[in-house]
Amino acid sequence: MATNRRQFIAGAAAAAAAVAPAARAQTTLPARPPTVRPRRLQPGDTVALINPSSAIYERAPYDIATETLQALGFKVREAPNLRARYGHFAGTDAQRASDVNAMFADPAVHGLLAMTGGSGGNRILPRLDYALIRRNPKFLGGFSDITALINAVHAQTGLVTFHSPVAASEWNGFSVEHFRAAVMDATALTLVNPRDRDDALVARTGRITTLRGGIARGPLVGGNLAVLTSMAGSPYWPPFDGAILFLEDVNEYIYRVDRMLSTLLIGGVLQRVAGVVLGAFTKCEPGDGNYGTLTLDEVFDDYFKPLNVPVYRGALFGHIKRKFTLPVGLACEMDADAGTLRFLQPAVL
């Protein structure tokens, strides 16, 4: 049964890839807005803490987040509803959206960083003032459920946003180094995993797997797979034509990863991209009672190998301690053989 299912998926992927040119010709896609890069963050700038998704139930994470941003050299502004709660959300939809709009509108605020992820980001997207955001381009960062916000803002305004640590993340040396280089120093980075052997004969972490070799260029879009697919068909989905798609996830059974990738396949997304970079799929396992499940390796092979575009796996982003900062909407070059992702220009001005 599992073999038949794999053959069906692989056949569907191959067939979809074969008809991709016709699909592109027949489908009217939203125009990609002109790319707008935000001003770089500098020491002394004010960064607003926002919470577009889930509530935090203790005080200490807010204190740690503030101290973290201060250690980076920033002044910190708490958005008015940062500590609000409505069910498991960080306030009502209106409160959370209001904070995003207000912090973009405030000329004393130079950037916005999400406190945490969780869920609920999708709910505020229709309430955001994209014209206001377009008039006031600023740094906007976060990951996980913040995938909804950073992709919607880019899709609607052209603003380069950032798949970065959230304020509640572990800001270790690796994550800080890449955040500073991308957001503060305006470096045209080449992102490459370090190969740490520790005491082992060969590296066991940070390993790159090339599913299909080659080099591709295009604007970077993506983030958390579950959140991205939940936006399917909406005006907040980013343009995928010619893009480099990056994906990660956490705590999803493998069959759910399979289902979400099938959404991207039958929706025509995978056939449009120029390349794919896969990050960490943390604790994405078979689950109890899933007899005969495909492995994650097999699922990725089924969906990505028939696309005939470069694909590699293992880049350091996602629900892991050490994280790259990835600019959504920036033109980049990926090398699937070397396992590198290079900014074609600085992500900030």
Print the SS3 string covering 197-256. CCCCCCCCCCCCEEEECCEEEEEEEEEEHHHHHHCCCCCCCCCCCCCEEEEEEECCCHHH
Q: Picking from 13-17, 44-48, 121-125, 242-246, which range would have the lowest pLDDT averaged per residue?
A: 13-17
24 pLDDT higher than 70: no
Q: Picking from 45-54, 173-182, 187-196, 266-275, which range would have the lowest pLDDT averaged per residue?
A: 187-196
Query: 168-211 pLDDT, tens per residue?
Result: 999 999 999 999 999 999 999 999 999 876 767 787 778 999 99
Residue 194's pLDDT is what? Answer: 92
Residue 25's pLDDT is what? Answer: 35
What's the average model confidence in pLDDT over 131-137? 98
Alpha-carbon distance 243 to 236, whole Å? 16
Alpha-carbon distance 100 to 97, whole Å? 5
| % of the chain exceeding 90 in pLDDT | 85
- Residue pair 104/133 in contact (Cβ under 8 Å)? The answer is yes
What's the average model confidence in pLDDT over 132-137? 98
66 pLDDT higher than 90: yes
Residue 32's pLDDT is what? Answer: 80
11 pLDDT higher than 90: no
The tokens for 321 are 């301690």
230 pLDDT higher than 90: yes
pLDDT, the chain, mean: 91
Query: In the annotation, is 178 catalytic?
Result: no
- Phi then psi for residue 290, to 5 deg, are -90, 75
Given 154, 163, 178, 319, the catalytic residue? 319
Q: If phi over 0 gives left and psi between -120 and 50 gives alpha, with beta otherwise, what is residue 186?
A: left
Cα 98-240-206 angle, rounded to 5 deg:
90
3-state class (DSSP) for residue 182: helix
Residue 200's pLDDT is what? Answer: 74
Contacts of 114 (CB under 8 A, 6+ apart): 49, 50, 51, 52, 53, 141, 142, 146, 149, 166, 167
Residue 6's pLDDT is what? Answer: 55
19 pLDDT higher than 50: no
What's the average model confidence in pLDDT over 35-46? 98
Residue 261's pLDDT is what? Answer: 98
Given 53, 54, 98, 144, the catalytic residue? 144
The tokens for 109 are 């605020």
- Residue pair 287/254 in contact (Cβ under 8 Å)? The answer is yes
Lay out the sheet containing 190-192: strands in order across: 190-192, 340-343, 331-335, 215-224, 244-250, 275-282, 311-313, 209-212
Residue type, 284: C
What's the average model confidence in pLDDT over 321-331? 97
Q: Length of the chain in residues, anyone? A: 349
224 pLDDT higher than 70: yes
**How does residue 30 score in pLDDT terms, banded at 50, 70 and 90?**
low
- Residue pair 213/129 in contact (Cβ under 8 Å)? The answer is no
Residue 220's pLDDT is what? Answer: 98
What domains can you pick out in the chain, each with its CATH number?
2-23+190-343 (3.50.30.60), 46-184 (3.40.50.10740)
- Residue pair 200/223 in contact (Cβ under 8 Å)? The answer is no
Given 154, 248, 252, 262, the catalytic residue? 248
Query: 278-298 pLDDT, tens per residue?
Result: 999 999 999 776 667 899 999
Q: Picking from 31-40, 131-140, 176-185, which range would have the lowest pLDDT averaged per residue?
A: 31-40
28 pLDDT higher than 70: no
Look up residue 145 and give its DSSP letter: G
CB atoms within 10 A of CB 302: 24
Query: In the annotation, is 144 catalytic?
Result: yes
Residue 22's pLDDT is what? Answer: 35
8 pLDDT higher than 50: no
Query: 307-321 pLDDT, tens per residue?
Result: 999 999 999 999 999
What's the average model confidence in pLDDT over 303-332? 97
pLDDT: which is higher, 125 or 18: 125
Query: In the annotation, is 163 catalytic?
Result: no
